[in-house]
């Protein structure tokens, strides 16, 4: 039943293709940037199916990370990371709903970005519980704007109707 619901949700909402289409626009022409990806994910059939590394030019310095060392990436926890003014771009795609102390993560993302750097964040809204018991939140556009209010500029987009979004995609510039 869960597998059917998840398949139906993917078919109807088209969340990841939407997020990747937004990321393709963002990453077009981006070169020589230092990029941190939080939550690069588990390998599926030998490939990192959840990482967005394939959407970025190879001339970028792209650091894949995850909180689970078994996934083969550098271990970085967004709630405790100590980076400061180090990255041009931080990707946090479909991760914040799994971070219980999301406020700490957002503050650390802000601190880790260079001035003028951009946090790219995507969160599901209409999506079944997954990766339990670590699926904690579903955010509204109002919550996201409040959470990222320390950033200089926020560009928030969504898939679906505004009153019934499937996902949010956010570019927040420091």
Mean pLDDT by 10 residues, the chain (174 residues): 73 87 97 98 81 96 96 96 98 97 98 98 88 91 98 97 95 98
Give the number of domains in the chain: 1
3 state DSSP class of 12: helix
* Residue 50, domain extent: 2-173
CATH number for the domain spanning 82: value is: 3.40.50.150
For the chain, report the end-to-end CA distance as a whole number of angstroms. Answer: 43
Give the pairing type, strands 87-93 and 34-38: parallel
Strand order in the sheet with 113-124: 74-75, 61-66, 34-38, 87-93, 113-124, 164-173, 153-161
Supply the pLDDT for residue 98: 97
Q: Say how far apart CA 36 and CA 138 lie, in whole Å.
A: 23
């Amino acid at each position: 039943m869960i597998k059917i619901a998840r398949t139906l949700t993917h078919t109807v909402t088209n969340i990841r293709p939407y997020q990747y289409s937004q990321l393709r626009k963002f990453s077009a022409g981006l070169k020589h940037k230092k990029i941190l990806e939080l939550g690069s994910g588990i390998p599926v059939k030998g490939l990192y199916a959840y990482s967005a590394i394939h959407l970025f030019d190879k001339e970028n310095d792209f650091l894949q990370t995850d909180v689970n060392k078994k996934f083969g990436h550098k271990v970085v926890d967004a709630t405790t990371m100590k980076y400061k003014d180090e990255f041009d771009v931080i990707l946090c795609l479909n991760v914040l709903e799994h971070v219980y102390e999301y406020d700490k993560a957002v503050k650390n993302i802000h601190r880790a970005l260079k001035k003028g750097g951009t946090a790219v964040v995507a969160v599901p809204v209409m999506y079944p519980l997954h990766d339990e018991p670590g699926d904690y939140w579903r955010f509204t556009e109002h919550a996201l704007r409040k959470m990222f209010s320390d950033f200089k500029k926020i560009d928030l987009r969504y898939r679906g109707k505004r009153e019934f979004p499937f996902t949010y995609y956010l570019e927040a510039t420091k």
